[in-house]
Chains A and B, each alone.
Chain A
Amino acid sequence: MTTSLDSYRGVVGSDVVDELVQLADRVRHRRLQHVNSTAVGGGVAELLTRMVPLFRELGIETSWDVIEGDEAFFAVTKAFHNALHGAQETITEEMLDVYRAAQDKNLHDLGQMGDFVVIHDPQPAGLIARKKESGGHWLWRCHIDVSTPDPAVWDFLRPYVEQYDGSIFSMPEFSQELPIPQFMVPPSIDPLSDKNRELADDEITAVVQKHGLDPERPILTQISRFDRLKDPVGVIQAYRLVKRRYDCQLLLAGGGASDDPEGEQVLQEVREAANDDPDVHVLLLPPFSDLEINALVRGSTIIMQKSLKEGFGLTVTEALWKGRPVIGGSVGGIKLQLLNGVTGFLVHSPEGAANRAIELLGDETLRQTIGANGHQHVRQNFLTTRHVRDYLLLMLAMEYRDTDITLLTAKP
Chain B
Amino acid sequence: MAKNEKQPFIFDTELRLVMLTGLKVRTVADLRRTLALVPGSSIFFHTHHEYLAHNFHKPLHYNDFSVWVSQTLREEALAEKLAAIDLLALTTIRGLREALLKTLDDYTAAKGDVPQECRPDEAFHFCRSKSFILPTGIVANDVPEFFAKLPLITDASLYFHFFEARLRLGRLTSDFSRWLKERDRGDLADAINALNPYIRTLDELKQDIIRIGQGAGALHS
**A interface residues (Cβ-Cβ under 8 A, vs B):** 15, 19, 22-23, 147-148, 169, 172-173, 175-178, 181-185, 339, 342-343, 373, 376-377, 380-381, 389-390, 393-394, 396-397, 400, 403-409
Contacts and interface: CB of A to CB of B under 8 A. Distances in A.
A22 B13 CA distance: 12
B19 A182 contact: yes
Nearest to A166: B19
Contacts of B169: 405
A393 B21 contact: no
Given A405-B169, A409-B12, A183 B19 contact: yes
Nearest to A172: B125
Contact of B18 (A183, A389, A403): A183
**Main SS of the interface on chain A?**
mixed
B133 A184 contact: no
Contact of A393 (B13, B121, B132): B132
Contacts of A400: 132
A386 to B, nearest CB: 10
Interface size range on B against A = 35 or more
B151 interface: no
Contact of B20 (A175, A339, A397, A406): A175
Contacts of B135: 409
Contacts of B39: 404
B22 interface: yes
Contacts of A390: 17
Nearest to B126: A172
Contacts of B125: 172-173, 175
Contact of A23 (B15, B40, B164, B168): B15
Given A182-B22, A376-B54, A390-B17, 15 more contacts: A23-B134, A173-B121, A173-B123, A178-B22, A184-B19, A342-B57, A343-B56, A377-B54, A393-B17, A403-B130, A404-B41, A404-B130, A404-B168, A405-B131, A409-B134
B134 A405 contact: no
B22 A405 contact: no
A41 to B, nearest CB: 29
Interface in B5-63: 10, 12-13, 15-23, 39-41, 54, 56-57
A397 B129 CA distance: 11
B21 A175 contact: yes
Given A183-B17, A393-B15, A408 B127 contact: no
Contact of B22 (A148, A175, A185): A175
Given A183-B17, A393-B16, A176 B22 contact: yes
Contacts, number: 94
B161 interface: no
Contacts of A184: 17-20, 127
Contact of A406 (B23, B54, B132, B168): B132
Contacts of A175: 20-22, 125
B70 interface: no
A15 B41 CA distance: 27
9 contacts: A169-B20, A173-B123, A183-B17, A393-B15, A394-B17, A404-B41, A404-B130, A408-B134, A409-B134
Nearest to B157: A15
A406 B133 contact: yes
B103 interface: no
Interface in B52-97: 54, 56-57
Contacts of A404: 39-41, 128-131, 168
A330 B147 CA distance: 46
Question: Which of A172, A178, A390 has the most chain B CB atoms inside 10 A of its CB?
Answer: A172
B108 interface: no
B201 interface: no
B193 interface: no
A4 B123 CA distance: 42
A404 B133 CA distance: 11
A408 B16 CA distance: 12
